[in-house]
Amino acid sequence: MGNAKLILEGKEYEFPLVVGTENEVGIDISKLRDRTGVITLDDGYGNTGSCRSAITFIDGDKGILRYRGIPIEELEQARFTEVAFLLIYGHLPNAAELTQWREKLTRHSLLHEDMKKFFEGFPASAHPMAMLSAMVASLSTYYPDDLDVDLNIVRLLAKAKTIAGFSYKKSIGQPFMYPMNHLAYTENFLHMMFAVPAEPLKISPTLERALNLLLILHADHEQNCSTSTVRMVGSSGANLFASISAGISALWGPLHGGANQAVIEMLEKIQADGGGYQKFVDKAKDKESGFRLMGFGHRVYKNFDPRSRILKKAADAVLAELGVDDPLLEIAKGLEEVALKDPYFVERKLYPNVDFYSGILYRAMGIPTNMFTVMFALGRLPGWIAHWKEMREQGSRINRPRQIYTGATQSPWVPVDKR
């Protein structure tokens, strides 16, 4: 493939093309400013490749999502811990690697006892995402040594679920439940969420399978807002815990991972309003209203979100298995049907995304609404870690975009009595 040509004020410049393994093509403009004096402007980075990455491939038009080449539909059969290994280390673990990996994830799941005191300082109303982000950042106070990257990766993966469980217990005023070494990763999380010291918890295999699926589907999504944040922060040389803590904060917003909480809140509003979808669809079409159908639309998927398809199917099965009859599932399906026929949504290629059905599953599992985005974060951890590690190994430059300045031109300072 040849070069790309740019004609700027009559002068021609050539820039090399970069072709990925799936034939995605980018124009390498890293020398653009040096050679021409101008920069590119790409609001929201919709056309900007920020890095080369070998972790996850998405074809948004065809609805394809693959981790290290393996389609998400095949990974449905896997366990979250092996998918985490796959994303971080680039290959499926063999039996010995998997056993060792799981042992390490189990062994490192306790928090330093002093960290429990941090929870005492948070108000009971604290959002669990705020606690998660703060607690992950504070792991760097206990493990400041950045040299053993693999050990810190294990610590983070192992302890994040303990932090998440403790955050929930704090919010409902129950005693913290310590991790149990005989339990698998997902079981351990359910134990720390739902067990109480007064009686043992029988972990439902249906719940455990649903959680495993949800975590796998969330495990990576290439250069989304939170992952780009992790890479951005990590590019300054910041440690793993600090970089991931920043990613957790980015995920919290309602346009990103926070949408799963916002979807349920929206469906509850529709239910309280009598269940009429059209009013909400009309409101979402009215730009003046500032309202959007939460769980609809995606920057990359313009046909369907493969994760949403899997979750819609799973929601039916899991609710049936658990014997849960949630009217919100019917409202969600009805809303989807109305929106998908509406020319506004059709023209803009707005389809249900991963957050549309995930909340219904979390609800059925007994996970409270304000924990939904924490669940997303637990799932996305391996992806963030994989990207942070890849960026380090690539020896990437500090990420530092430019801008087009639109402020005042040079102006004098005026003493206060003359203003």
Q: Which is nearer to ligand CMC, 79 or 283 (CB)?
A: 283
Interface with ligand CMC includes 167 (CB under 6 A)? no
Residue 170 makes contact with ligand CMC by CB under 6 A:
no
Count, residues near ligand CMC per rule CB under 6 A? 20
User: Given its phi and psi angles, is residue 275 left (phi above 0), alpha (psi -120 to 50 degrees) or beta?
Assistant: left
- Cα 340 to its chain centre, rounded Å, is 25
Catalytic positions, please?
Answer: 298, 355
Site for ligand CMC in 374-413 (CB under 6 A): none
In the complex, least distance from residue 323 CB atom to ligand CMC, rounded to whole angstroms: 29
List the structure tokens of 291. 């309202």
Nearer to ligand CMC, 179 or 295 (CB): 295
CB of 106 to ligand CMC, least distance (A): 29
Question: Of 194 and 296, which CB lies nearer to ligand CMC in the complex structure?
Answer: 296
Least Å distance between CB 52 and ligand CMC? 22
Nearest approach, Cβ of residue 82 and ligand CMC (Å): 23
70 to each of 35, 75, 249, 334, how far by Cα in Å?
A: 40, 7, 29, 32
- CB of residue 405 to ligand CMC, shortest distance in Å: 24
Please give the residues from 262 up to 301 whose contact with ligand CMC meets the rule CB under 6 A: 284, 292-299
Q: How far is residue 257 from each of residues 29, 173, 251, 354, measured CA to CA in Å?
A: 31, 26, 5, 9
CA-based nearest residue to 166, from 137, 142, 136: 136
Q: Return the DSSP state at 224.
A: -
Q: Which of 153, 353, 374, 384 binds ligand CMC (CB under 6 A)?
A: 353
Q: Which is nearer to ligand CMC, 140 or 308 (CB)?
A: 308
| Chain centroid offset of residue 365 CA | 20
Kindly state whether residue 105 participates in binding ligand CMC, applying the rule CB under 6 A: no
Residue among 179 and 247 whose Cβ is closer to ligand CMC: 247
Near ligand CMC by CB under 6 A: residue from 8, 17, 41, 255: 255
- Contact call for residue 247 and ligand CMC (CB under 6 A): no
Q: What is the full DSSP assignment across 379-390?
A: HHHHHHHHHHHH
Which residue number is nearest to ligand CMC in terms of Cβ?
297
Taking CB under 6 A as the criterion, the residue among 165, 179, 257, 382 binding ligand CMC is 257
242, 69 contact by CB (below 8 A) = no
- 355: contact with ligand CMC by CB under 6 A: yes
Binding-residue pattern over the window 68 to 97 for ligand CMC, x denoting contact by CB under 6 A? ------------------------------
- 256 Cβ partners below 8 Å, 6+ apart? 224, 225, 226, 250
With binding defined as CB under 6 A, does residue 44 bind ligand CMC? yes
Please check whether residue 215 is in contact with residue 378, taking contact to mean a CB–CB distance below 8 angstroms. Answer: yes
Closest approach of ligand CMC to the CB of residue 178, in Å: 31
Instruction: Give, as ranges, the residues between 213 and 232 that touch ligand CMC (CB under 6 A).
Output: 224
Burial of 145 (0-12, 13-18, 19+ CB in 10 A): exposed
Which residue, 215 or 354, has its beta carbon nearer to ligand CMC? 354
Within residues 311-350, the interface with ligand CMC by CB under 6 A covers 348, 350
256 binds ligand CMC (CB under 6 A): yes
* 3-state secondary structure string across 293-342: CCCECCCCCCCCCHHHHHHHHHHHHHHHHHCCCCHHHHHHHHHHHHHHHC
Which of residues 284 and 391 has its CB atom nearest to ligand CMC in the complex?
284
Q: In whole angstroms, what is the distance from residue 174 CA to residue 410 CA?
A: 59
Q: Where are the beta strands (DSSP E) in 159-315?
A: none
- 374, 260 Cβ separation under 8 angstroms: no
Q: 245 phi and psi, to 5 degrees? A: -60, -40
Give the burial string for 219-245 (b: 16+ CB within 10 Å, else e). bbbbbbbbbbbbbbbbbeebbbbbbbb
Task: Decide whether 79 or 256 has the Cβ nearer to ligand CMC.
Answer: 256
CB of residue 284 vs ligand CMC: minimum separation in angstroms? 4
Closest CA to 252 of 163, 419, 373: 373
- Determine which residue in the list 216, 259, 267, 310 makes contact with ligand CMC, applying CB under 6 A: 259
CB of 108 to ligand CMC, least distance (A): 28
The footprint of ligand CMC (CB under 6 A) covers 44, 224, 255-257, 259, 284, 292-299, 348, 350, 353-355
